[in-house]
Structure 1
Amino acid sequence: MEKELEVKILNIDVEDIKNKLKDLGAKFLGYENQENIRLSSSKFEYIPKGSFLRIRKFLDDNGKEINSELTYKEHKKNEFLKEFNEYNVSLENSEEMLKIMSLIGYDKLDIEKEFRTSYKL
C-alpha cells in the first residue's frame, strides 16, 4: 500500500517551476502518457464516496500500452487536502481485466488521458 497526499496548485508558470526544480537539484525522471479508466457501476454503489477504482494504462509515444495497473484509492478524511491509501496490482492484460470488471457489474467507464512530467528531489 502506498499513501498519497495530493495538492493542486493552479495558475502557475510551468517553465518557471521547471527552472526552480532544476535550481533545487531535482532530477528529471521523464515524460509519461497515461490513460486512466475509472470504474463504477450502474447497478450498485459499493465504493465509498471519495474513493475509486481505476485501471491506469501507461502508453508509449504512439499510444500503445506498455503496461497497466489496477488501483483502489481509499479516500481518507482530511480537512486540508486530498489523502488516499492506494492499493495497486500490476496487470498483464488490461482489456481482460476491464471485461472481468464489467461482468461483475462495473459497467461505467470514465476515461481520461493524462501527460505527466516527473522530477525527483
Structure 2
Amino acid sequence: MSSEGAFLRHRLPGDVTPVDLERLLWGVVVLALAADIVTTFVGLRIGLSESNPAARGAIEGHGLAGMLALKAFAVGVGLICRLLLEHKYRPIVPAGLAVPWLAATVLNVYAISSAL
C-alpha cells in the first residue's frame, strides 16, 4: 500500500474557504460585541447589575469608554493569538470571541425581558 500522492484537504461545505469563514466570523464578532454592549447598558439603565466583575469594574470606573476598552483589549489579544495559528485554524479566534458575547447578549435580553 502506498501513500504517495495522498494528502488531506480541509474543505468546508459549499466551497467556503477558511479565509471566507474567518471574514464572516469577524463580522459576527462586531455584531455580537455591539449587541452585548447595547443590551448591557439597557439592562443597567433599568436597574439590573453587571455580573462580570471585570466588566463591572470597567463600567463603574469609566462608563462606556471602560467597556469599549475592555472589549478592544479582548479583540487585541485575539488578533495577536491569531498570528500564532496556521491559516486554516484562524477562524477559531473570532468564533472564540463571538460565542461568549452572543451568549451574554441572549442572557441580557432574557434578564431585560424578565425585568420589564
TM-score range, shorter chain: under 0.3
Give the TM-score normalised by the residue count of structure 1. Answer: 0.22
> Between Structure 1 and Structure 2, whose CA radius of gyration is higher?
2
Give the TM-score normalised by the residue count of structure 2. Answer: 0.23
More helix, by proportion: 2
More strand, by proportion: 1
